[in-house]
Structure 1
Amino acid sequence: MELRQLKYFVAVAEELHFGRAAKRVHIAQPPLSQQIKALEEELGARLFERSSRKVELTAEGRYLLDEAREILERISDASETVGRMVRGEAGRMHVGFMEIAMDSHLPEIMRHFRSEYPDVGVRVSQLGASVQLERLRSGELDVGFCSVFRHGLQGLEDRLLFEKEHFLAMPEDHLLTRKDKVSLEDVAGERLIMFPRFGQPDLYDSILEAFTLKGLYPVIGQEVAGISGVTALIAAGMGVSFVPENTRIQRKGIVTRPIDGDFPAMDIYMVWKKGEPAAALRLFLEEVAASYQLGPVFD
């Protein structure tokens, strides 16, 4: 059974006249009749009752008409969807992000993209930098927004979106709030809340190295992922922590102070796998780059 045979059959079934059906599908009547006959022979069933006065569908023909219409509609829809995928108007995209990356106007960019391309399914996952880079290479993620501090980026493309200096976050009644800036010597005597090392091992080690270079040994009281978890522990009096500047802290009673001297910064990159991206991903990467005024992503 060929697709054109189904189209010819539907034309005859809807017109109930071979001459009109032939004009509708732009072929001569004899070839049309031959195609219908070939279809009946292949199915082993008569689809039409023919007489000199009229053409009628048989029970088998009525059943096939419903099925053929559905098949042709699905093929038309699939063809249209493929075309839209080629143009980037449809498809799927898996986005990874660190919490701090979303403390920017990235959510607004994603909202705008989804409104422009509602048929692009966007799935988001909150993941640490190391996991994101691993899944980008494996193809489990399409694009990631994370800190790539000293990470190897073999096989990946990247664009720096923004950098943030670290500040010390503490309860508003803490003695260190009396200072305009805090030193690492000040922090070394406090219980420090850190993020888990496995998510950002190079940044984690660099922060501790900043202390050891001064002959200091910080006391790590807790490890917790995410700004919301960090601020909850600070509010509970469990210690102090480093947070990127201008972080939107939802909890009241927490204040920040800049760090005096050299200290690792938080860099946030947009990262994706090398090669030709799918059309929808390409549009998304270009929209993010334009929003951050990074220039064109692709030549």
Structure 2
Amino acid sequence: MSRFESIEVQRLRWFAGVAEELHFARAAKALGISRQRLSRTVIELEQELGAKLFVPGDGPTELTDEGRELLEAAREIIARTPEPRPAAESAGAERLRVGFVPGVTVTKWERIWGERFADIGLDLIPVPMKEQESALRTGAIDMCFVRLPIDRDGLSAIPLYREVPVVVVPKDHPVAAFDAVATADLADERMQDASDLDDAAMTMELVAAVSGAAIVPHSIARLHHRKDLVYRTVTDAPETEVVLAWPVARTTELVEEFVGVVRGRSERSTRTPTRSADTKPKKQPAKKPQPAKKQPPAARGRSGGAKHAGKRRGR
């Protein structure tokens, strides 16, 4: 009796599928299961047999000698076992809930997830910034694209990008004539409180109504763009940082797979889930602002070279 006879036939069918295809994503699609489940089955078989079935590494999927031995035995066992009637996986059996705060665009990662894990639902849930941390800690969502700062205790996070700040002003405002300004150029402006990004639409309404100004992350200005407002880069205001966060205690294989998608890991390298994640975002170099094509308002006023720069102070 072969030492492989005790292995469940269904697991052998799945192993044979990927062993013959030598591509986890294509095999999972052909077998009608998730690639995450197929990867887990292979890992369990390797642990059970105490041997690697596929050559480790990021190269093309390739069987080891033990893998070829198991494939030969699996074909014999499968050939003499009646083919079971296919049973569809329960709808919604596996789902991942990912939140995102205002200004974060998730369509790219949604598309990649759909291509790789077509049978695993991905729920993308808008989350107000004021609720981003509580949603994670209460289990309302599994992961969330959050905007720092948050309390990092008990949370894992990977850094994604930093956002350049912009000032939003009416389109006929003198600042609109420039590509970039410094905070000193806004010293005499009527600045609106833009700290509550969940209420950014009202902030924009106030800017338009009273001809004031507000400094917000670039994505927020773009999200609430209006024809009567423009936004310009602020060269010396603090940037904001967006990270992907989740509770350390709930680091599931689905969570690890989504981390791989966000990090840009290839299909081939995601067949073995990641086993660790950064607990603190790494500091990334700040983006250099685009050089201003025109001189900022304050500077032009000092040099006396602009027709339109004067008389905009002292409102």
8 Å contact kept, 2:169–2:229: yes
Determine the structure 2 residue equivalent to 1:280. 254
8 Å contact kept, 1:145–1:271: yes
Count, aligned residues = 185
Instruction: Tell me: CA distance 1:196–1:265, structure 2 relative to 1, closer, same or farther (3 Å).
Output: closer
Instruction: Tell me: CA distance 1:164–1:252, structure 2 relative to 1, closer, same or farther (3 Å).
Output: same
> How many angstroms apart in 1 are the aligned matches of 2:115 and 2:211?
42
**1:78-117 correspondence runs (5 A):** 81=89, 91-102=94-105, 106-117=106-117
Structure with greater strand percent:
1
Instruction: Tell me: CA distance 1:180–1:121, structure 2 relative to 1, closer, same or farther (3 Å).
Output: closer
8 Å contact kept, 1:156–1:272: yes
Q: Secondary structure at the match of 2:151?
A: coil
Residue 259 of structure 1 is aligned with which of 204, 221, 234?
234
Determine the structure 2 residue equivalent to 1:298. 275
> How many angstroms apart in 1 are the aligned matches of 2:210 and 2:110?
36
Structure with greater helix percent:
1
Determine the structure 2 residue equivalent to 1:141. 141
Q: Percent identity?
A: 23
Instruction: Tell me: CA distance 1:136–1:112, structure 2 relative to 1, closer, same or farther (3 Å).
Output: same
Larger Rg: 1
Normalised by the length of structure 2, the TM-score is 0.49
**1:8-27 correspondence runs (5 A):** none
Determine the structure 1 residue equivalent to 2:120. 120
* 1:169 and 2:168 matched: yes
Instruction: Tell me: CA distance 1:117–1:133, structure 2 relative to 1, closer, same or farther (3 Å).
Output: same
> How many angstroms apart in 2 are the aligned matches of 1:127 and 1:193?
24
Q: What is the RMSD of the two structures over their aligned residues, measured on CA atoms?
A: 3.5
User: What letter is aligned with 2:247?
Assistant: K
In structure 1, stretches of 5+ residues that fail to align are 1-75, 200-223
User: What letter is aligned with 2:171?
Assistant: E
Shift of 1:138: 2.1
Shift of 1:187: 2.9
8 Å contact kept, 2:112–2:261: no
> How many angstroms apart in 2 are the aligned matches of 1:271 and 1:286?
13
Shift of 1:291: 6.6
Cα distance per residue 1:194-243 (max 9 Å; x no partner): 3455x7xxxxxxxxxxxxxxxxxxxxxxxx624x5544544445532213
> How many angstroms apart in 1 are the aligned matches of 2:209 and 2:118?
42
User: What letter is aligned with 1:271?
Assistant: A
> How many angstroms apart in 2 are the aligned matches of 1:172 and 1:229?
17
Cα distance per residue 1:77-128 (max 9 Å; x no partner): 5xx638x99xxxx5122221112222xxx31211331344343333333223
